[in-house]
Chain A
Amino acid sequence: MLKIEGLSAEIDGKPILNGIDLEVPTGELHAVMGPNGSGKSTLSYVLAGREGYEVTGGSATFDGQDLLAMEPEERAAAGLFLAFQYPVELPGVGNANFLRTALNALRRTRGEPELDAMQFLKVARERMRALSMPEDMLKRGVNVGFSGGEKKRNEVLQMALLNPRMAVLDETDSGLDIDALRIVADGVNAMRGPAFSALVITHYQRLLEYIVPDRVHVLVGGRIVKSGGPELAKELEVSGYASVQAAA
C-alpha cells in the first residue's frame, strides 16, 4: 500500500529525514515511534504534501502511484488521510459545511453521488454518536474553541466519514486523557480491516496498548533504526530511545 524508500527531506536547508525505508502492506497497521526531533511529524507532513518541505532524495509510492508528485487533495482523493497532531482552527467555516464539502469532494472523485445536507447529517450523527461527540460540534467553526480532546475526536470523525484506505495518525494521543484516548482508539480500531492500512506515529507506547500494531518502527535522527513486532514498543518503554540509538 505505502512504500517509502530512501526518503530524505529538509526544511530551510536543514535535513530532517535522512533516508527512510518503510513499507506498510495493505490491511496492516504500523507504528512509528521516536523521540522528539526525530522527524516524526515531518514524515507525516511530507506524506500528506504540506508546503515548505523539500524532498532531497528517495521516493514514496501509494498503491504504486508516485505520492510525492501529487497535490495534497489528490493524495486525499487517492485514499490517504492525515490526522493532524495540531488540528487547524478555521473560524467562519462551519464544521458541518467543512465535513460535507470534504466528503462530497472525495465522493466526486470516486464517481459517487454527492450527499445533500439531510443525507450528510444522518451519516455524520451516526459517526458522532460512536465517538461520543455532542451534536453541536457540527454547528461550530471547525476546531474553534474545541478542547484538545475534542480536536482529536474531530480528526477521527473526519477519518470515519472520509473512509480512507490509509491513515497516518500524527501523535493523535497527545493531549488526551485516558477516556478520550480510549474513544479515539476505538475509532481507529473500528476502521481496521483487510482494506485499511495505518501508520500510527507516536512518542509514547501508551496509545499502542489500545491500538495494537502489526509492526513497530523506531525513528531516530530521521532514519528507521529498528523494526520489530508489537513487543518492541514495550521494550522501548522500559529501556528508552537511548538504548536503540546506541545500538544503531
Chain B
Amino acid sequence: MTAMQQKGAEGFLHRYEGLRERLPGVRLPWVAALRDVAAVAFRASGLPTRRIEAWRYTDLRAVGEAGFDEALTSLEDGQDLPAMRGSARAVFLDGRFRADLSDLDGVGYAVGSLATELRKLEGRVGALARPEEQPLAALNTMLFEDGLVVTVPAGVEGGVLDLLSVASPTERPSAFHPRHLVRLEPGSSLTLIETATGPEDGRYLHNPVFEIEVGEGATLNHARLQQEGPRAFQLSTVYARVAAGGTYDNFTLNAGGQLVRNEIHTALVGPGGACHMNGAQLLGPGQHADTTTFLDHAAPDCASRQTYKTVLSSKSRGVFQGKILVRRPAQRTDGYQMNQTLFLSPDAEIDSKPQLEIYADDVKCSHGATVGELDAEQLFYLRARGIPGERARAMLVEAFLTEAVEGVSDPVARGALEAAVTGWWSRQMKDAA
C-alpha cells in the first residue's frame, strides 16, 4: 500500500475514478449510468455508520480502515478447491469467473459470466438492487467486475449448481464485489449451493450482491455457506423477488470471517408465493456476524418462515434484525419469525431486533426470540450414558440447530450444511484444546 492511499469511502471512490475506464461495460451507456448513479449515492452515504438504524449493531470502521488494493489473483489451477457438489460448478476467484476451474458442461439452462454477457443484460443488472438505499449495494454497483448469470428456462429442473467463491492468498488487503444474477422462469427449479472461502491469514472484503427473480411456480433453493478466512470481511446483500406461487428458500450459514453482514431483502409480489429464510450463525473468538432480513409481503396468500439460530462461543457477537412488512393488499399472509441464541460463553453478546409492520387486517404473523445456555440436565444425561463431555456438547449444539437445518429441503444442500456445522465444531474444539 502506498503512503498516499486513501481509506474508507474515499478509498473506494478513488478506486472507482481510477478504474472506471477499465471496468466491464465501460462502453455501455446504461452500465456507465448505473455506476455513476451508484457513485453519487455512495459519495453521499459513505460506508454506513452505527448512527444509521439498520447498522446500529454492526460497526464497519474496521472495513473503512483496511485500505484495499486490487486482488492479485495467484491461485494455482485447481489448488485446494473443495470437492464439487452436484453436477455443475461455477468458480469465482477473487470475484472473477474462472472458466478453466468451472464445470458447466451439459447443464439444461443458461449459465455464464456476467463480465462476458454484460451487453445482453440491460434491465437485469440493477432490476432489484437498491444502491440509493443500501450503501453496500452502491459500492458493489460502482465496482462490480463479474458475477454469475443463471437463467433457468420455463419448466426446466436445473438440479444442483455449485457456486464457489475463493479469495486467493494476498499480502495486502484486497476487495471484490461480484454481482450475481439468478432468474428462474415459470415452473422451473434450481438448487444453488454457494460456498465462500479464503486464506487463513489474508485480509479481504467480499461484497457480493445477488439479484434473484423467482418466476411463477418456480422454486429456488439457495444455500449459502459462508466460510471465509478468519480475517475476512463479507458484506453480502441478497435481493429476491418471488412471483405468484413461487418459492424462495434461503439458508445461510455464517461460520467464517471476522466481520460479516448477511442482508436479505425478499419481496413476495404474487399471490401464493412462499419464502423460507433460515440460517445459523456459529461464531468463535472475535467474530461478529449480523443477519438482517427484510420480508416484504406485497401480495395476498403468501407464507414466510424464518428461523435463525446463533451459537456464540468465546468473545463473539451475533446480531439478528428481522423486519416483516405486510402491505395492505397482502391479506391472509402467514408470517413466522424465530430467532434463538445459544451461549457457550459468558463473554459473548447477541443483539436481536424483530420488527413487524402490518397494514393488512387478515393476517397471521408471529415472532419470537430466545436466549439460553446448554442445559446441564441434558448434558449430564448424555454423559451418564458414556458419551464424553465434548461429544455431548456437540450433540446438543447440533440439536439446537436442527429446526433451522431441517428447513433445508434439498438433500445435497443439507448434507453440505451439516458437514459445515461439524467442521465448525471440531475447529472450536481444536482451538479450545
A and B found bound together: yes
Contacts of A82 in B (CB 8 A): 384
Given the complex of chains A and B, what is the CA–CA distance between A198 and B391 in angstroms?
A: 28
Measured as residues with beta carbon below 8 angstroms from the partner, the interface class of chain A is 20 to 34
> From A92, which residue of chain B is reached at the shortest CB distance?
B399
Q: Is B362 among interface residues, defined by CB-CB distance under 8 A?
A: no
Given the complex of chains A and B, what is the CA–CA distance between A73 and B377 in angstroms?
A: 14
Contact (Cβ within 8 A) B395 A101? yes
- Pick the contact of A88 from B381, B386, B388, B399 — CB < 8 Å? B381
Contact (Cβ within 8 A) A50 B380? yes
Contacts of B392 in A (CB 8 A): 73
Q: Is B345 among interface residues, defined by CB-CB distance under 8 A?
A: no
Given the complex of chains A and B, what is the CA–CA distance between A234 and B389 in angstroms?
A: 42
Q: Is B378 among interface residues, defined by CB-CB distance under 8 A?
A: yes
Shortest beta-carbon distance, A74 to chain B, in Å?
A: 9
A88-B377, A90-B378 are known contacts. Are A76 and B399 too (CB-CB below 8 A)?
no
Q: Is B383 among interface residues, defined by CB-CB distance under 8 A?
A: yes
Give me the interface of B with A, judged by CB distance under 8 Å: 376-378, 380-389, 391-392, 395-396, 398-403
Contacts of B400 in A (CB 8 A): 92
Contacts of B395 in A (CB 8 A): 93, 97-98, 101
Q: Is A126 among interface residues, defined by CB-CB distance under 8 A?
A: no
- Pick the contact of A72 from B384, B398, B399 — CB < 8 Å? B384
Q: List 28 A-B contacts (CB under 8 A).
A: A50-B380, A50-B384, A71-B383, A73-B384, A73-B387, A73-B388, A75-B384, A76-B383, A77-B386, A84-B381, A87-B381, A90-B382, A92-B399, A92-B401, A92-B402, A92-B403, A93-B395, A93-B399, A97-B395, A98-B385, A101-B387, A102-B382, A102-B385, A102-B386, A105-B386, A105-B388, A109-B386, A141-B399
Contacts of B380 in A (CB 8 A): 48-51, 72, 88
Given the complex of chains A and B, what is the CA–CA distance between A73 and B401 in angstroms?
A: 24
Given the complex of chains A and B, what is the CA–CA distance between A92 and B404 in angstroms?
A: 11
- Pick the contact of A162 from B377, B378, B386, B391 — CB < 8 Å? B386
Given the complex of chains A and B, what is the CA–CA distance between A89 and B291 in angstroms?
A: 30
> From B403, which residue of chain A is reached at the shortest CB distance?
A92
Given the complex of chains A and B, what is the CA–CA distance between A76 and B384 in angstroms?
A: 6
> From A77, which residue of chain B is reached at the shortest CB distance?
B386
Q: Within residues 92 to 112 of chain A, which ones have a CB less than 8 A from any CB in chain B?
A: 92-93, 97-98, 101-102, 105-106, 109
Q: Is A158 among interface residues, defined by CB-CB distance under 8 A?
A: yes
